[in-house]
């Protein structure tokens, strides 16, 4: 009779491993001695110790090939949050995650670590030191958030001692760092277009921005602490830098670091939010004729003008989490990593 070889605990897969967070996670896992299978719709780099499987996570057969002999899976794939494509979010984040869970169970994977988002509880109003027991947003601010909620529920509900399948969700917030295609590039693009002169609201709102290496650290700690009977099973964990900062101070530090002026003039939050809402309606109405991509979407205005920072006390207690890189060092390293985005370059 053939004996089934138990997958090595140092062999793992990263779904979405070609992305910003995924690649940082893969690099750290390799440093720690893991052998890694990356599964992604694209391949963006090569690295010794890493095998690449190009495919769509909605394709179970393709996933099964990548998950062969894997005991631990990180799922950090998602369409970009600013897309307006509801069907794509539903297909990838919800149906695709269902497929990931099925494939993991069929392949004999023991642990699944999902990258969720702290935004699953954000409805556009202030959150101060939010804990994981806040209810999911009843009126999510966009399709991205709506489907991240459904995705997180699916993964946490799949946790089963009977099946020997253990799941946990990591909820980061405002990830930034070298190679991020989103935060710094959008900010610099807005500054180059002369759109970063204004502070939305009085500028006192505190927000979490989390350095990518700390987010990676939280994921790996979660994977290593996820065991039968551990408190992590089926739970969500905020992972932040644990240093909330005024949204506009963070933006100003990045802008000034790259040689641009800091925003100076204040605009009332409700006025900007109202204009952003009108613009969004206009883009929806005109969509069959023209494609407009406004910089100040209602979602960005809500993120820029409200408090939203989260407690990571649960992660500290259950997995000994502590940020590895301080916010100031993280900003310095991030700014230095974008020489091509400096003013005048």
Ligand X SMILES: NC(=O)C1=CN([C@@H]2O[C@H](COP(=O)(O)OP(=O)(O)OC[C@H]3O[C@@H](n4cnc5c(N)ncnc54)[C@H](O)[C@@H]3O)[C@@H](O)[C@H]2O)C=CC1
**Chain positions contacting ligand X, by CB under 6 A:** 16, 18-22, 40-42, 56-57, 76-80, 92, 96, 115, 117, 148, 172-175, 181-182
> Which spans in the chain are helix H?
20-31, 60-66, 86-89, 97-107, 143-157, 183-192, 212-225, 247-257, 269-286, 298-305, 313-319, 327-336
Quickly tell me which residue has 């023209």 as its tokens.
Answer: 290
Sheet holding 72-75, edge to edge: 50-54, 35-40, 11-15, 72-75, 111-115, 166-172, 235-239
User: 178, 281 in Cβ contact below 8 A?
Assistant: no
For residue 8, report the phi and psi dihedrals to the nearest 5 degrees.
-70, 140
Min dist. Cβ of residue 305 to ligand LHIR3OJJ (A)? 9
- State how beta strands 245-246 and 206-207 pair: antiparallel
Identify whether 307 is a catalytic site residue: no
Closer of 259 and 307 to ligand X (Cβ):
307
Closer of 210 and 253 to ligand X (Cβ):
210
Residue 92 touches which member of ligand LHIR3OJJ, ligand X, none, C-beta under 5-8 Å by kind: ligand X
Min dist. Cβ of residue 145 to ligand X (A)? 10
Min dist. Cβ of residue 117 to ligand LHIR3OJJ (A)? 3
Instruction: Tell me the C-alpha to C-alpha distance, in Å, between residue 293 and each of 14, 283, 284, 301.
Output: 31, 8, 11, 14
Min dist. Cβ of residue 303 to ligand LHIR3OJJ (A)? 5
* Contacts with ligand LHIR3OJJ, residue ranges (CB under 6 A): 81, 117, 119, 173-174, 182-183, 186-187, 190, 295, 300, 303-304
Give me the sign of the Cα torsion angle 258, 25, 33, 229. Answer: positive
Marked catalytic residue, from 34, 144, 237, 310: 144
Closer of 148 and 217 to ligand X (Cβ):
148
Residue 84 touches which member of ligand X, ligand LHIR3OJJ, none, C-beta under 5-8 Å by kind: none
User: 56, 62 in Cβ contact below 8 A?
Assistant: yes
Residue 7 touches which member of ligand LHIR3OJJ, ligand X, none, C-beta under 5-8 Å by kind: none
Closer of 186 and 324 to ligand LHIR3OJJ (Cβ):
186
Closer of 174 and 201 to ligand LHIR3OJJ (Cβ):
174
Q: Which residues pair with 11 in a beta bridge?
A: 35
Min dist. Cβ of residue 93 to ligand LHIR3OJJ (A)? 11
Spatial distance between the Cα atoms of 32 and 319, rounded to a whole number of angstroms: 18
Spatial distance between the Cα atoms of 220 and 32, rounded to a whole number of angstroms: 10
**Which residues are tagged catalytic?**
144
């Amino acid at each position: 009779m053939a004996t089934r070889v138990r997958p090595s605990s140092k062999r793992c897969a990263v779904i979405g491993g070609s992305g910003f967070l995924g690649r940082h996670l893969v690099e750290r896992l390799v440093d720690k001695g893991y052998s890694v299978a990356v599964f992604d719709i694209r391949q963006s780099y090569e690295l010794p110790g890493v095998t690449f499987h190009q495919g769509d996570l909605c394709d179970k057969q393709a996933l099964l090939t990548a998950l062969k002999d894997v005991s631990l899976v990180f799922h950090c794939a998602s369409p970009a949050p600013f897309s307006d494509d509801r069907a794509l979010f539903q297909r990838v984040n919800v149906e695709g995650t269902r497929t990931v869970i099925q494939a993991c169970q069929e392949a004999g994977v023991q642990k699944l670590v999902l990258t969720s988002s702290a935004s699953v509880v954000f409805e556009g109003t202030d959150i101060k030191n939010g804990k994981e027991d806040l209810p999911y947003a009843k009126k999510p601010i966009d399709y991205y958030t709506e489907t991240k909620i459904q995705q997180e529920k699916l993964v946490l509900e799949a946790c089963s001692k009977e099946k020997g399948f253990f799941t946990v969700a990591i909820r980061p917030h405002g990830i930034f760092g070298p190679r991020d295609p989103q935060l710094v590039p959008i900010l610099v693009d807005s500054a180059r277009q002369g759109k970063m002169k204004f502070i939305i609201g009085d500028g006192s709102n505190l927000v979490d921005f989390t350095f990518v290496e700390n987010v990676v650290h939280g994921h790996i700690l979660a994977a290593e602490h996820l065991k039968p009977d551990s408190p992590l099973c089926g739970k969500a964990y905020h992972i932040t830098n644990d240093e909330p900062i005024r949204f506009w101070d963070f933006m100003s530090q990045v802008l000034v670091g790259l040689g641009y002026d800091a925003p100076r003039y204040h605009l009332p939050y409700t006025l900007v939010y109202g204009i952003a809402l009108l613009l969004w309606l206009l883009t929806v109405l005109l969509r069959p004729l023209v494609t407009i991509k406004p910089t100040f979407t209602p979602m960005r205005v809500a993120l820029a003008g409200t408090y939203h920072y989260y407690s990571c006390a649960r992660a500290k207690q259950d997995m000994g989490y502590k940020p590895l890189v301080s916010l100031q060092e993280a900003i310095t390293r991030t700014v230095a990593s974008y020489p091509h985005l400096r003013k005048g370059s």
